[in-house]
């Protein structure tokens, strides 16, 4: 048959053609293709790694996510087995071999294993592998899903470590829920408090631990902070399960979830009982030391007052008698008396000032000091001793040294008198010289170098550092041979340091020594210096003298009478107040600090508390035998205007009283 008639035939002369159409239902195939396409798209875009291997385990295909996880591309691994490329030193071989065995046995498996990426870094992965079988039961493909679980593993390891630490630490650890109720405690918590988890579970911890002396306000404050989702740290007295009190430190931290809300509270409990005990003991020791220091200060003040008061009378009376034109024989006796009293005062000052300096209870006065007059007084007080030893005692003062400076005359005299006395003591031939030189000077200040040189026994080099130590002298037999307390140089050193300076010594054994130091003074205005030279002898003033010591009252009365001043007297603060209220005609009050019935500070306070302007403005000058560091503040707080140290220099008393005389 002609091929053109393949689908037709001739009937007579007519040609007939027929068409046969075959329709096949391919819906399932199309759906399958769509499913494959969807699955393929899902596999390509899945965040999990997906790998398809053949029955031998060789790679056929893998998605980009897996390439990212392991660092290898499909081109690098296609047709190869993947396992050997991903294992390393930290890979668990037992887990790896279990996976290999499952593949060989055509069985599915799931493992968590540490692998090595192409760059050598490690990653934890979860692998789920399933074989695909054909119609006859043979494996055609291996489908593997690989998930990077590195972060999860890291978190698990940290949690494991934290759990281990929490369980083994000596500090108590408590985990509370978001409402602050206990969920878990570690062993240390049980050891510290005696409470087990079952004792405190689902309870607020504070309710379980509080007792009779517990400060519940701290617990309440802690709960308020927790309610505000704030961390806190508190110290709290609690009670163990057996009733024993215990100090603990509680450190509370809020743990927040991904939504920012608090999921848990972690509390660390530390037993601080020993620390608190030590703190309380330290507080008690400090309080005891403070009480001891106060008692010491009081003792110093009382001793200073009791010892200096009679000396004040001796020195004051000697001064008055020497100014009353005594006979020459009387003058010599009075000079010896005054000199001895002043030397005794120096010794007392050394002992009392040493204690005050050690406790920091000393302040420097700021008043006018006539440098040349001061040096002359020191030489005058020591010239008899120098004359007895047949040695010279001289002075060399730079002409640039100002006539008057602002400083603490008493301390300067004490320093220099100690140094001069020391030099005279250890010099048996030659003599002693006091030398003053200006080192620096401008309109406001002057820096003066004070030096005391002698031709005495000298000091060995290895002893230079010890001579300034308290109660020590250069040689053991020095005290026996020369006398002295060994305090003079120690006191001088400390007083010089109070002037922000230091004492220096240059010495040659057998030839002599030079002790020197520098002090910076404020200079006095020219008009103030000129006024000083105008010596006044008359005081037009009415003074109320308040002192419980009769000799002191007698001495002050004689001095005031000599100046033409009038005076009345009271033996204590209460008597002074009574006289002031009755008369109100006094121009100034000289008020002793330490007196029976009522002391000077209390009396001054009562006077200032009165509303009348007379009592508000009445000048009150304190008389005190000692000036502790806190006493100046007490004098000011009591409303006193000034103070005078006993034994007083009549010139100083005149100068201070003259400020308040009637015009």
**Residue 442's CB: how many other CB atoms inside 10 A?**
8
As given in the structure block, the two tokens for residue 596 are 């029976």
> What CATH number did the domain enclosing 314 receive?
1.10.287
Q: 432 and 306: one domain?
A: no
Gap between the Cα atoms of 420 and 431, Å rounded: 10
H helix or E strand, kind and range, residue 177: strand 172-177
Last residue of a domain, one of 233, 250, 277: 277
> Would 529 be classed as within a structural domain?
no
The pLDDT, as a whole number, for residue 537 is 67
Which tens digits make up the pLDDT trace of 291-336?
887 777 677 666 666 777 777 777 777 777 877 778 877 777 777 6
Residue 343 · residue 381 · CB < 8 Å: yes
**Residue 475's CB: how many other CB atoms inside 10 A?**
14
The pLDDT, as a whole number, for residue 34 is 65
> What CATH number did the domain enclosing 592 receive?
3.40.50.2300
Q: 622 and 480: one domain?
A: no
Q: 336 and 323: one domain?
A: yes
> What CATH number did the domain enclosing 440 receive?
3.30.565.10
Highest mean pLDDT pick, 45-54, 266-275, 355-364 = 266-275
Mean pLDDT on 554-575: 92
Last residue of a domain, one of 91, 119, 154: 154
Residue 57 · residue 154 · CB < 8 Å: no
C-alpha gyration radius of the chain: 51
Q: What is the mean pLDDT of the chain?
A: 83
The pLDDT, as a whole number, for residue 521 is 96
β-bridge partners, 148: 125
Lowest mean pLDDT among 230-234, 580-584, 625-629: 625-629
Which tens digits make up the pLDDT trace of 20-37?
778 877 777 667 556 556
Please name the residues in contact with 147: beta carbons below 8 A apart, sequence gap of 6 or more: 48, 49, 125, 126
The pLDDT, as a whole number, for residue 412 is 92
Last residue of a domain, one of 120, 154, 188: 154
As given in the structure block, the two tokens for residue 637 are 């707080």
Q: 503 and 386: one domain?
A: yes
β-bridge partners, 621: 590, 642
Mean pLDDT on 117-132: 92
The pLDDT, as a whole number, for residue 266 is 86
The pLDDT, as a whole number, for residue 85 is 86
- Does residue 125 register a pLDDT over 50? yes
- Does residue 578 register a pLDDT over 90? yes
Please name the residues in contact with 339: beta carbons below 8 A apart, sequence gap of 6 or more: 381, 384
Residue 397 · residue 370 · CB < 8 Å: no
> How many domains are contained in the chain?
5
> Would 19 be classed as within a structural domain?
no
- Does residue 575 register a pLDDT over 50? yes
The pLDDT, as a whole number, for residue 116 is 93
At residue 557, what are phi and psi to the nearest 5 degrees?
-60, -45
Q: How confident is the model at residue 81 (pLDDT cuts 50, 70, 90)?
A: confident
Strand stretches in 398-526, DSSP E: 404-407, 431-441, 445-454, 504-508, 512-523
| Long-range interactions of 506-509: CB distance < 8 A, separation 24+ | 507/458, 507/459, 507/461, 507/464, 508/458, 509/457, 509/458, 509/459, 509/460, 509/461
Q: 141 and 193: one domain?
A: no
> Would 386 be classed as within a structural domain?
yes
Q: 376 and 503: one domain?
A: yes
- Does residue 480 register a pLDDT over 60? no
- Does residue 191 register a pLDDT over 70? yes
> Would 283 be classed as within a structural domain?
no
Mean pLDDT on 506-529: 86
Which tens digits make up the pLDDT trace of 404-458?
999 988 889 889 988 998 899 999 999 999 999 999 999 999 999 999 999 999 9
Q: 372 and 482: one domain?
A: yes
> Would 416 be classed as within a structural domain?
yes
The pLDDT, as a whole number, for residue 538 is 83
Q: How confident is the model at residue 95 (pLDDT cuts 50, 70, 90)?
A: very high
> Would 368 be classed as within a structural domain?
yes
- Does residue 481 register a pLDDT over 60? no
Quote the percentage of the chain above a pLDDT of 90: 37
The pLDDT, as a whole number, for residue 483 is 43
Q: 63 and 178: one domain?
A: no
Q: Which domain holds residue 302?
A: 288-358
- Does residue 475 register a pLDDT over 60? no
Please state whether the predicted TM-score (pTM) of the whole model is above 0.75: no
* Residue among 469, 494, 497 nearest 356 (CA): 494
- For residue 269, the SS3 value is strand
Residue 422 · residue 491 · CB < 8 Å: no
Gap between the Cα atoms of 300 and 303, Å rounded: 5
- Does residue 16 register a pLDDT over 60? no
The pLDDT, as a whole number, for residue 450 is 97
CA separation (Å) from 260 to 255, 257, 481, 567? 9, 5, 86, 84
Q: 371 and 514: one domain?
A: yes
* Residue among 255, 250, 265, 112 nearest 181 (CA): 265
Residue 582 · residue 617 · CB < 8 Å: no
- Tell me: cis bond preceding 327? Omega within 30 of 0 counts: no
> Would 478 be classed as within a structural domain?
yes
Lowest mean pLDDT among 112-126, 130-144, 320-334, 419-433: 320-334
Q: What is the DSSP letter of 649?
A: P
- Does residue 584 register a pLDDT over 70? yes
Please name the residues in contact with 220: beta carbons below 8 A apart, sequence gap of 6 or more: none
Percentages helix, strand, coil for the chain (3-state, rounded to 5) are 45, 25, 30
Gap between the Cα atoms of 7 and 624, Å rounded: 149
Q: 102 and 148: one domain?
A: yes
> Would 3 be classed as within a structural domain?
no
Q: 324 and 424: one domain?
A: no
- Does residue 346 register a pLDDT over 70? no
Residue 394 · residue 430 · CB < 8 Å: no
Q: 510 and 402: one domain?
A: yes
Task: Classify the C-alpha dihedral 475-481-485-490 as positive or negative.
Answer: negative
Residue 428 · residue 456 · CB < 8 Å: yes
The pLDDT, as a whole number, for residue 533 is 45
**Residue 3's CB: how many other CB atoms inside 10 A?**
6
The pLDDT, as a whole number, for residue 626 is 64
Helices in 521-593 by DSSP H: which ranges? 526-532, 550-562, 573-583
> What CATH number did the domain enclosing 221 receive?
3.30.450.20
Gap between the Cα atoms of 599 and 577, Å rounded: 11
CA angle 40, 43, 48 (to 5 degrees): 180
The pLDDT, as a whole number, for residue 54 is 87
The pLDDT, as a whole number, for residue 331 is 76
């Amino acid at each position: 048959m002609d091929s053109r008639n393949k689908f037709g035939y001739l009937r007579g002369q007519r040609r007939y053609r027929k068409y046969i159409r075959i329709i096949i239902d391919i819906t399932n195939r199309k759906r399958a293709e769509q499913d494959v396409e969807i699955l393929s798209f899902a596999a390509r875009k899945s965040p999990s790694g997906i790998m398809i291997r053949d029955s031998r385990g060789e790679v056929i295909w893998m998605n980009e996510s897996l390439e990212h996880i392991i660092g290898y591309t499909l081109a690098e691994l296609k047709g190869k087995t993947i396992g050997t490329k991903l294992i390393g030193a930290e890979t668990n071989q037992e887990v790896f071999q279990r996976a290999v065995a499952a593949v060989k046995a055509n069985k599915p498996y799931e493992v968590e294993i540490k692998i090595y990426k192409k760059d050598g870094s490690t990653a934890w992965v979860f692998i789920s592998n399933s074989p695909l079988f054909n119609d006859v039961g043979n494996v055609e493909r291996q489908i593997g899903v690989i998930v990077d679980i590195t972060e999860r593993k890291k978190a698990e390891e940290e949690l494991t470590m934290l759990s281990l630490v929490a369980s083994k630490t000596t500090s108590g650890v408590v985990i509370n829920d978001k409402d602050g109720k206990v969920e878990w405690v570690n062993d240390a918590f049980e050891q510290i408090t005696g409470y087990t988890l079952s004792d405190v579970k689902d309870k607020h911890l504070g309710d379980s631990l509080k007792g009779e002396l517990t400060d519940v306000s701290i617990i309440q404050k802690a709960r308020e902070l927790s309610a505000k989702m704030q961390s806190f740290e508190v110290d709290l007295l609690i009670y163990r399960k057996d009733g024993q009190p215990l100090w603990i430190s509680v450190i509370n931290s809020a743990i927040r979830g991904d939504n920012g809300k608090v999921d848990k509270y972690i509390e660390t409990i530390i037993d601080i009982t020993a620390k608190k005990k030590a703190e309380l003991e330290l507080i008690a020791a400090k309080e005891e030391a403070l009480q001891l220091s106060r008692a010491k200060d009081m003792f110093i003040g009382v001793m200073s007052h009791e010892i200096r008061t009679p000396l004040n009378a001796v020195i004051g009376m000697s001064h008055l008698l020497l100014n009353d034109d005594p006979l020459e024989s009387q003058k010599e006796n009075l000079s010896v008396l005054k000199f001895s009293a002043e030397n005794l005062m120096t010794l007392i000052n050394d002992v009392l000032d040493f204690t005050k300096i050690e406790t920091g209870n000393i302040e420097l006065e700021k008043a006018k000091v006539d440098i040349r007059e001061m040096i002359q007084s020191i030489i005058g007080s020591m010239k008899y001793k120098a004359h007895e030893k047949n040695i010279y005692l001289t002075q060399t003062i730079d002409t640039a040294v100002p006539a008057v400076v602002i400083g603490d005359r008493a301390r300067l005299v004490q320093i220099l008198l100690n140094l001069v006395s020391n030099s005279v003591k250890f010099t048996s031939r030659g003599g002693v010289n006091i030398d003053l030189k200006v080192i620096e000077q401008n309109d406001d200040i002057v820096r003066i170098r004070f030096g005391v040189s002698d031709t005495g026994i000298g000091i060995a080099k290895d002893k230079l550092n010890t001579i300034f130590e308290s109660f020590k002298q250069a040689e053991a037999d020095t005290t026996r041979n020369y006398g002295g307390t060994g305090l003079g140089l120690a006191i001088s050193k400390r007083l010089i340091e109070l002037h922000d300076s230091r004492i220096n010594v240059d010495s040659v054994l057998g030839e002599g020594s030079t002790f020197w130091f520098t002090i910076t003074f404020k200079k006095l205005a020219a008009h103030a210096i000129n006024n000083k030279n105008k010596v006044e002898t008359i005081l037009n003033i009415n003074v109320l003298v308040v002192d419980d010591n009769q000799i002191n009252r007698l001495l002050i009365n004689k001095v005031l009478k000599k100046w033409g001043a009038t005076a009345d007297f009271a033996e204590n603060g209460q008597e002074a107040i009574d006289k002031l209220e009755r008369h109100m005609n006094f121009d100034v009050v000289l008020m002793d600090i330490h007196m029976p019935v009522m002391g000077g500070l209390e009396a001054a306070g009562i006077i200032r508390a009165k509303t009348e302007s007379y009592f508000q403005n009445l000048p009150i000058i304190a008389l005190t035998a000692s000036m502790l560091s806190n006493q100046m503040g007490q004098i000011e707080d009591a409303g006193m205007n000034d103070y005078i140290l006993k034994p007083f220099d009549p010139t100083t008393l005149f100068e201070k009283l003259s400020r308040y005389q009637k015009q």
